[in-house]
Amino acid sequence: MYEARVIEEQDKERYNSFVNDAPRAHYLQSYEWGELKRGTGWLPLRLLVTKDGAAIAAISLLKRKLPFFNRSILYAPRGPVIGNGCDADGEAFFWREVIRLGKKQRAILIKIDPDIPFPNGTVLKHLQELGFLPAGDETGFGGVQPRYVFRMDITPSEEELLSGMAGKTRYNLRLAVRKGVKVRPAENKDDLRNFYELLTETAERDRFLVREFSYFNSMWDLFVVGGSARLFLAEYQGEAIAGTIAFRCGERSWYLYGASANKRRNVMPNYLLQWEMIRWAKSMRCSVYDMRGVPPTDDPENHLAGLYRFKKGFGGEFTEFIPEHDLPLSSFWYFIWKRVLPIYLKFTHRQKGRQAEID
């Protein structure tokens, strides 16, 4: 007998246990990630489907209300989570319940971007049969989550992993060690503050936006304290010069945030940080290390070509995921979402810009 249940906090451990044990476990589908996004204006909704009491499928949906329209959108980052025990009937029941929940929330659409490599004709055909439409951006990182990444199989020994790296990567890693760079896990919120200062310095240098410190403070409380993430700091002559944050879920791990000071970059702390994150992931019995987003090629004209070469040097496999897909819950409102709303938002942003010039 199939049952569907919207998960509340008292069911958190059961939900997380299923997500961690699933074939495509992902931290973005964890209970804690929904709580983190709650602080940025999203409302998390988690659905767990069971068969005869055993969990077979789950999804964490982030809900965002749309202004003026009394409608919402639902987004499942790297979801859904389908277990090995979920057959065709179970999945059909799961999607009926997801749609039922979406309509109850007055959602225009349900957006997903599963952690499934491209091409995969079987999956894409199945999504089409379910009513999903491709919706991903084909350029840059591609969509909300990176569409292109480098991933490493970290089950081989450390010696084998090192031998599989590019010569320059191994050289820079060992150079950091020779120069006396030390990498250690962060111990407290003071370390987190040091990391955030490095991150804001990096953002100014590389011209990207960074979230408020409160976001990382919540991340620490939700993930680092619980052991599903770790903050690493690279120090040189007693001073923090770079830092990274790694996540893990099930047997997989991810490099999520990186920061470095403008000075002392010549001692190559970022190479040693990656290596120590890989070693940590191995100690947590992870089999996959995901270095996250890169551009689709190492075209030197692309300003992110250096990032591509840096991550490629660790010996990972270039992986492209299937694009984002939307499941429209109303053809009329989905048309508004795709065609009318962008024009409206563009106009209102332009008007705001003009008003700012007048002010």
Q: DSSP per residue over 80-139, as a string?
A: -EE-TT--HHHHHHHHHHHHHHHHHTTEEEEEE--S-BSP-HHHHHHHHHHT-EE----S
Quote the distance between the C-alpha of residue 74 and its chain's center. Answer: 16
What is residue 224's DSSP assignment?
I
Cα three-residue angle 190-193-194, rounded to 5 degrees: 90
pLDDT at 68: 77
Whole-number Å distance between alpha carbons of 21 and 93: 21
pLDDT at 324: 95
Domains in the chain with CATH codes: 2-138+322-358 (3.40.630.30), 155-286 (3.40.630.30)
* Segment 286-332, tens digit of pLDDT: 999 999 999 999 998 888 899 999 999 999 999 999 999 999 999 99
Helical pair 12-21 and 31-38, crossing angle rounded to 10 deg: 120
pLDDT interval class at 184 (50, 70, 90): very high
Other C-beta atoms closer than 10 Å to the C-beta of 276 total 20
Indicate the SS3 state at residue 185. strand
Comparing 20-29, 109-118, 344-353, which segment has the lowest mean pLDDT? 344-353
Nearest one of 256, 197, 198, 202 to 224, comparing CA atoms: 256
Indicate the SS3 state at residue 221. helix
Other C-beta atoms closer than 10 Å to the C-beta of 203 total 14
Q: What is the mean pLDDT of the chain?
A: 92
What is residue 324's DSSP assignment?
P
* Segment 244-257, tens digit of pLDDT: 999 999 999 999 99
pLDDT at 303: 86
Nearest one of 265, 33, 316, 300 to 150, comparing CA atoms: 316
Look at 69 and 243; give whichever has higher pLDDT: 243
Phi, psi (rounded to 5 degrees) for 341: -60, -45
State pTM to two decimals: 0.92
Strands (E), the chain: 2-6, 43-51, 54-66, 71-76, 81-82, 107-112, 133-134, 148-153, 182-185, 229-236, 239-249, 252-260, 288-293, 317-320, 325-328
